[in-house]
Amino acid sequence: MLSFFKRLFRVWGNEVAVDLGTAYTLIYVKGQGIVLNEPSVVAVDQATGKVLAVGYEAKRMLGKTHKGILAKRPMKDGVITDFEMVQEMLYTFLSKTISKHLWANPRTLIAVPSAVTEVELRAVRDSAESAGSREVLLVAEPVAAAVGIGIDIDEPAGHMIVDVGGGTTEIAVISLSGIVTDTSIRVAGDEMDEAIIQFIRDHYRVEVGQQTAEQIKIEIGNVFPLEETRRMEVRGRDLVSGAPKTIEVNSDEIREALKPVVYQIIDAVKRALERTPPELVADIIDRGIYLSGGGSQLRGFAALLREETNLAVNVVENPVECVALGAGKILEEIDRYRKVLIQPRSQVTTR
């Protein structure tokens, strides 16, 4: 029986690519495309340790749970902070997607931040294995993003990818299928949310949750003055009285709150350009910077990056999906792309 199934899977090529992001996890099934895109959140019953929900269902619980339930993000700053939770999450996501397309120890390609340590890599690999993967392949996130954007990464020319995610901003220059320079800073969308929380705490003495902060960022966040100042009502908890309180914030103050975070990202791009060999900089001048990741959608961010670097900035078509799409394409054409995979036990940058 088992061997019958095994044969069947071999024929149908049971292979998946995963963009294991701090904020969102996307799964691409070979031959099908992206089949899952859910928040990287897990809800656990603290008494029993049982996982109650993952993904959207768990995100709805985040910050709203009673004492007995813990809803949290098992990854922070692009790396795994809770190994067991990531395992559960991957397992649930994989079984959710694969059961419809035959669940049987798939070959799994996972996109990881380029600056992960050897220990973090092992944690990702182990998670995927214990989630039922028969073979785990790894690729650096910016390389997957580049392939997803449609860049010909074999070309002997420099391409700069800037991916602003939830936990990390990855800045990589890719040429001849390899990463020539890469900078990974643990500053991205989450830090923007944090800056908003901090601002509201300092100026209104009100505490708002992470989800509220994210909503504010998406609705009225900006880096250049908007034509008309926008306002938004938000609810939080008065830090003095402890009572619920509704306040109004506007797009001008949110811009000021976000500025330091946005400039940390822009400064990192400038530093990366300084470290890039001149020949490749010339290519980047010709082609422009490729901007991807959910965090790059902050209003005006692309324009500010253009202004600050004096380079053209290409906003990619699928900023949130391109890593998963690229990882999927690598799976589809594994022979062509095998050389871009992270080799097991190879020397991985640690910093």
Ligand X SMILES: Nc1ncnc2c1ncn2[C@@H]1O[C@H](COP(=O)(O)OP(=O)(O)OP(=O)(O)O)[C@@H](O)[C@H]1O
Interface residue with ligand X, options 137, 145, 262, 320 (CB under 6 A): 320
Which amino acid belongs to residue 191? E
From the list 2-10, 46-54, 166-174, 175-183, the region that binds ligand X by CB under 6 A is: 166-174
Nearer to ligand X, 99 or 198 (CB): 198
Sign of torsion over alpha carbons 254, 259, 264, 265? positive
> Which range, of 125-133, 148-156, 159-167, 229-237, touches Mg ion by CB under 5 A?
159-167
Residue 148 is a binding residue for ligand X (CB under 6 A): no
334 binds, among Mg ion, ligand X, none (CB under 5 to 8 A by kind): none
Return the residue of 17, 29, 59, 78 that touches ligand X, per CB under 6 A. Answer: 78
Q: How far is the CB of 86 from ligand X (least distance, A)?
A: 12
Decide if residue 221 touches ligand X (CB under 6 A). Answer: yes
Which among ligand X, Mg ion, none contacts residue 212 (Cβ within 5 to 8 A by kind)? none
Is 114 an interacting residue with respect to ligand X (CB under 6 A)?
no
The pair of structure tokens assigned to 259 is 């500025």
DSSP β-ladder status, 42-45 and 206-207:
unpaired
Please state the separation of Cα 57 from the chain's center in Å: 19
Instruction: Give the separation between CA 222 and CA 230, rounded to whole angstroms.
Output: 10
Q: Return the beta strands (E) in the chain as ranges.
A: 15-20, 24-29, 33-39, 42-45, 51-54, 69-72, 75-76, 79-80, 107-112, 135-140, 159-164, 169-175, 178-185, 206-207, 231-238, 244-250, 289-292, 313-315
Residue 328, contacted partner among Mg ion, ligand X, none, CB below 5-8 A by kind:
none
**Binding of residue 39 to Mg ion (CB under 5 A):** no
Among positions 15, 38, 88, 190, the unique one binding ligand X when judged by CB under 6 A:
190
Q: Which residues of 25-56 are buried (b: 16+ CB within 10 A; e: fewer)?
A: bbbbbbeeebbbbbbbbbbbeeeeeebbbbbe
Taking CB under 5 A as the criterion, which residues in 109-148 touch Mg ion?
A: none
Name the minimum Å distance from CB 254 to ligand X. 11
Please give the Cα distance from 204 to 189 (Å, whole number). 22
Contact with ligand X (CB under 6 A): which of 276, 297, 309, 314? 297
Cβ(236)–Cβ(182) under 8 Å?
A: no
Is residue 305 at the binding interface for ligand X, with CB under 6 A as the rule? no
Residue 218 in the binding site for ligand X (CB under 6 A): yes
Query: Which residues 6+ apart lie within 8 Å of 74 measured at CB?
Result: 40, 42, 80, 81, 82, 83, 85, 86, 89
Q: Encoding tokens for residue 158? A: 């420099």
Q: Is 326 in the site for Mg ion (CB under 5 A)?
A: no
Residues lying near ligand X in the complex (CB under 6 A): 21-24, 78, 165-168, 188-190, 214, 217-218, 221, 293-295, 297-298, 320
Residues lying near Mg ion in the complex (CB under 5 A): 21, 165
